[in-house]
Amino acid sequence: MAEKKTWVHRTIQVAPLVGLSIFFILIMYGYRHGIFQSADSLQQFMQQFGSYAIILFILIQIIQVIIPILPGGISSVAGMLMFGNVFGLLYSCIGLIIGEAIGFLFVRYYGTSFVRFILSPKKFQKFEQLVIEKTNNIKKVLIVTLLLPFAPDDLICLVAGLTKLSFREYMQIVILLKPWSVAVYSMIMLFLFQQAQGHF
């Protein structure tokens, strides 16, 4: 059992690197085949997958909250490039909000054992520190964290699952503020991506 748990931990830790590698391979493939020549060409490429592309992207965003397949907001930027800024952000928000809800409920039901299972030892240590420091005023901390685009809101959402904050109140805060956080973060990342793209 311990060996299986260690294997899962290692898989989770390697997932972001694998995801990033796949992302760059897809970018190189896209450049080679002219998919990234314009937003229209990229959207036309995605249209051949129909509604399955949207469903797959939303599922990736749900998983992304618990297991970061891609570092930072790269997945949200990819969504904006694939589906356009408005729909890309919309699909990102749908997936991420559902993911935050699932993460909260899992922590509430399974406690720290679930958090220890999905986080690396280093991140779990940070999680425990946040539990000690932020539990008493979790509502305020959650609001502030979601208002700051680059703050570790996913960790705070996990912490919230261990507090007395109701699921209804938690979801009201997340639904109200998560879109703001995702939009600002994604727009900044998209701008940086486009600037880097212009130097190639």
Residue-by-residue pLDDT tens, the chain, 200 positions: 555 556 655 665 565 556 556 655 665 666 676 655 554 555 566 667 777 888 888 887 887 787 766 655 677 888 888 888 899 999 999 999 998 998 899 888 888 887 877 777 777 788 888 887 777 888 888 999 899 877 778 888 888 888 888 999 999 999 999 999 999 988 888 888 777 666 44
CA angle, 94 then 167 then 149, to 5°: 50
Question: What ranges do the domains of the chain cover?
Answer: 34-198
Task: Quickly list H helices, the chain.
Answer: 2-32, 39-47, 51-66, 74-83, 85-110, 112-118, 121-134, 138-147, 153-160, 167-197
pTM as predicted: 0.75
DSSP annotation of 149 reads T
In the numeric block, the tokens 């705070």 are attached to 156
Q: In angstroms, what is the C-alpha Rg of the chain?
A: 18
